[in-house]
Amino acid sequence: MEIRLELFVLFAACGLVTLIPRILPFLLMHGLTLPRLLTDWLSFIPVCLLSALFFQNLLVAQSGGYPTLSLLHLTASIPTVLVAVSSKSLSYTVITGVLSMALLRFFQ
């Protein structure tokens, strides 16, 4: 396999484009203390994103009609919601949802 300079530069540039938006906010906010209201508001972002992804997959759009429930996603959501309510852990909830969906698709 040949390593060309153009590909190396391309991969390096792609890495920079990926790293800059992830690292720059941490560097800029390093010495700052955010107001309590803002940190409370930011704490809801993971829950909002997870809820949006959840309902997007649970409801299947029909052309010219109302959305319907996806039985596969509804079945996977039952243990996921139970873990979310009992543990209140985003990590456990995501892991349970992924494993539930993987098992259902495997046995389908």
Q: Which helix (H) or strand (E) holds 68?
A: strand 68-69
- Name which of 73, 76, 108 is nearest 95 in CA terms: 76
Tell me the domain boundaries of the chain: 5-107
Q: Where are the beta strands (DSSP E) in 20-65?
A: 59-60
pTM: 0.57
Q: Is the dihedral of CA 83, 85, 91, 95 positive or negative?
A: positive
Residue type, 72: L
Task: Single out the residue of 105, 79, 103, 102 nearest to residue 92, CA to CA.
Answer: 79
From first to last of the 108 residues of the chain, give the pLDDT tens digit: 677 899 999 999 999 999 999 898 888 888 888 899 999 998 999 888 888 888 888 888 888 888 889 899 999 999 999 999 999 998 999 899 999 999 999 998
